[in-house]
A and B are shown apart, each in its own frame.
Chain A
Amino acid sequence: MTARVLVGVKRVIDYAVKIRVKPDNTGVVTDGVKHSMNPFCEIAVEEAVRLKEKKLVQEVVAVSCGPQQVQETIRTALAMGADRGIHVEVSGKDYDSLGPLQVSKILAALAKKEEASLIILGKQAIDDDCNQTGQMTAALLDWPQGTFASELVIEGDKVKVVREIDGGLETIKLNMPVVVTADLRLNTPRYATLPNIMKAKKKKIANMKPGDLGVDMTSRVEVLRVDEPPQRQAGVKVESVEDLVSKLKEAGRI
């Protein structure tokens, strides 16, 4: 039986919030805005918890990188059924420039430290849409990866993953230890219930810094500017087909 699953969870602006760009165009407004667990991370946690319920894994560890507030996100993972949490403290400038490269270095270091044999992550975060952390983590660890998973089956010391790809579905078999990233149809995550939220308060969350794991947090990416998408312009009604054609020609479309 596989011992340990590491699940990464990211605290992002809630998907239902209307995003506004800061007046100085350096980023989006996050103060006072509702945050929650990235939806693909919820799916990843759900999958890990289901594996534990089927007794295919022994322990589920939820990890998050960020300031004090990410502890709420880890608590949600614990309420969904994760056994313990790890909070890697990153704040200030380091948090502003935190990206997939640093996170994957942290996850790789933790995977070795915790002797995990399976890492499940969401395929991407809904704030940056990078879709890189899973792939980078696998590369740093030199582990095989099953990304965009819509189905995950553990068969002995191998993992069968059905991936959602452009042409349809691809089924691959990977030798453990592996990194898997969760796609939308992998499962429907459970809601945390009150009794489980109460129980989660007693579960442990360990604190550490990137330095403790020997990870260099320097970013090679600098955000120059953030803008809103252009406002949608009003359409123009035309009276006849000839009119339509001439307008299209005017606009250089034909």
Chain B
Amino acid sequence: MTCVWFRATLHLCRLRLASGCGTRRKYDLFSPPVQNGARERTLSALRAVAGDEGVCVGAALREQHGRDESVHRCRPPDVVVFPRCVEEVSALAKICHHHRLPIIPFGTGTGLEGGVGALKGGVCFSLRKMDQVLDLHQEDFDVTVEPGVTRKGLNSYLRDTGLWFPVDPGADASLCGMAATSASGTNAVRYGTMRENVLNLEVVLADGTVFCTAGRGRRPRKTSAGYNLTNLFVGSEGTLGLLTKATLRLYGLPESTVSAVCSFPSVQAAVDSTVQVLQAGVPIARIEFLDDVMIDACNRFNSLSYPIMPTLFLEFHGSSRSLEEQVTITEEITRENSGSDFSWAEDEETRAQLWKARHDAWYAALALRPGCKAYSTDVCVPLSRLPQIIVETKQDLITNNLTGPIAGHVGDGNFHCIMVLNPEDPEEVKRVHEFTERLARRALAMDGTCTGEHGVGLGKRALLREELGPLAMEVMQGLKATLDPKNLMNPGKVL
């Protein structure tokens, strides 16, 4: 470690430790059979804040809060608490801080990287009771929400206003959870990811400090005031603080929407079309790629009959005149790349049917091998490298006899291989693991990232080190040490 700055920060942390918290000892309050008065005292302290119904030690509830939708095994916390307001979150955090108990924020449990596993036990903060939509400002296109509000819940609330929040990951996730993992979705190519759409966050640190990253109540559309704390916490995956409010950027609902499906003779042709459509400046709203294996799975799962070839699902937003223009340019490009004629959908029901195939991709992949589990890779590369990486990845899958249908947001250079594997077969598990490492390194070699939207969580910490390099990692560790010197916030994740 040669970074002077880092050493200075480490020294600062040691000072804080010495002044505040006594010796560092391994303090496991909750492991039976050491039932002592300390456990009961801590539980009473928690109950005094959150009420009797707000503190749960039942096994079923703890297991529910120890897993998400990833392949990582369940790691239940020792206690689950259900705070009802930010004051309770702060008071509960102070208790955990005093007793050195890990704090694990929990939204909807729909993460894909094992982010909620309580590796060292501790207290899971389930934020679902804080479920209000606060402060909608229609003319300013912003809204503030609590962590229990999900993206579909918000859009339903907004439905009479003509506004929507377009970031749409597969699950109906908590918006604050989406901020914590810097989530993205099929609309990112036009509307951006959480990084571009969070204006302000209310954060509770491990010691109970409550503050707002952009100043309380502030929601200008842009600012150059001070360090960008908002985006420091976006993507921090619960390792720097709990997010108890998010102020989000809203957009007007598109006047008209048109969707289309187009198949191609080769992966290269499909991906080349994607790159060219974007270079032509078409403000395409969604451009999703499904390879032949994926389309076949979707056909079987939904009883459809799309041709079993690399396919693009496209969606255009705008006024009817602008749509005509967008579609004409896109059709020219796909035709030049030997794409098929478009299958169209204009009204809500037909479009929903068309997109169902894409949205059900996960389940369709699982249905290919019943009884197996699925793991989704998540690399992202600059657009120009996309054709090469997909072609090489498909070759890798075939060579290594792996089931990995590909679906992805090619408009962002991001795609997912849905690896379907038998978790009881150690040989296959090993092959899949090695494949995903090769894929991540392939992406890194092409100036890309090992995780486009799912986050680092538990499984990609080593890859993060490779991606960022030791110096950037030191800066990140320094920040972590400053904001959470006792390492109580979701320990064992990200760094």
Contacts and interface: CB of A to CB of B under 8 A. Distances in A.
Given A16-B156, A16-B157, A197-B162, A188 B253 contact: no
Nearest to B160: A76
Q: Give 7 closest A-B pairs by Cβ, nearest first.
A: A194-B162, A194-B252, A188-B348, A193-B253, A197-B162, A76-B160, A193-B255
A192 B352 contact: no
Nearest to A80: B160
Interface string A181-198: 000000111111111110
A193 B162 CA distance: 4
Nearest to A16: B156
Contacts of A192: 159-162, 253
Identify the interface centre among A37, A190, A191, A196: most chain B CB within 10 Å of its CB.
A191
A194 B164 CA distance: 10
A191 B162 CA distance: 7
Q: How large is the interface on A (under 10, 10 to 19, 20 to 34, 35 or more residues)?
A: 10 to 19
Interface of A: 14, 16, 34, 36-37, 72, 76, 79, 187-197
A232 to B, nearest CB: 14
B259 to A, nearest CB: 14
Contacts of A79: 160, 162
Contacts, number: 44
Given A16-B153, A16-B157, A195-B255, A190 B348 contact: yes
16 contacts: A16-B153, A16-B157, A36-B160, A76-B160, A79-B160, A188-B348, A188-B349, A188-B352, A189-B348, A191-B162, A191-B164, A192-B162, A193-B254, A194-B162, A197-B161, A197-B162
A191 B30 CA distance: 51
Given A16-B157, A187-B349, A193-B254, 9 more contacts: A14-B157, A79-B162, A187-B348, A192-B162, A192-B253, A194-B253, A195-B162, A195-B255, A197-B162
A239 B253 CA distance: 56
Nearest to B162: A194
A34 B136 CA distance: 13
Contacts of A14: 157
B150 to A, nearest CB: 11
Contacts of B162: 79, 191-197
Interface of B: 153, 156-157, 159-164, 252-255, 348-349, 352
A26 B349 CA distance: 41
B252 A193 contact: yes
B57 to A, nearest CB: 16
Contacts of B253: 191-194
B202 to A, nearest CB: 22
A36 B133 CA distance: 15
Contacts of A195: 162, 252, 255
B34 to A, nearest CB: 27
B153 A191 contact: no
Contact of B163 (A16, A188, A190, A194): A194
B352 A191 contact: no
Contacts of B254: 193
A249 to B, nearest CB: 28
Nearest to B319: A195
A30 to B, nearest CB: 17
A76 B157 CA distance: 14
Identify the interface centre among B160, B255, B352: most chain A CB within 10 Å of its CB.
B160
Nearest to B163: A194
Nearest to B255: A193
A72 B138 CA distance: 15
Contacts of A36: 159-160
B139 to A, nearest CB: 10
Given A16-B153, A188-B349, A37 B160 contact: yes
Given A79-B162, A191-B162, A192-B162, A34 B157 contact: yes
Contacts of B157: 14, 16, 34
A195 B254 CA distance: 9
Contacts of A37: 160
A187 B352 CA distance: 12
A189 B348 CA distance: 8
A36 B224 CA distance: 39
A62 B210 CA distance: 48
Contacts of A188: 348-349, 352
Contacts of B161: 192, 197
A2 B153 CA distance: 39
A126 to B, nearest CB: 14
Contacts of B156: 16
Nearest to A79: B162
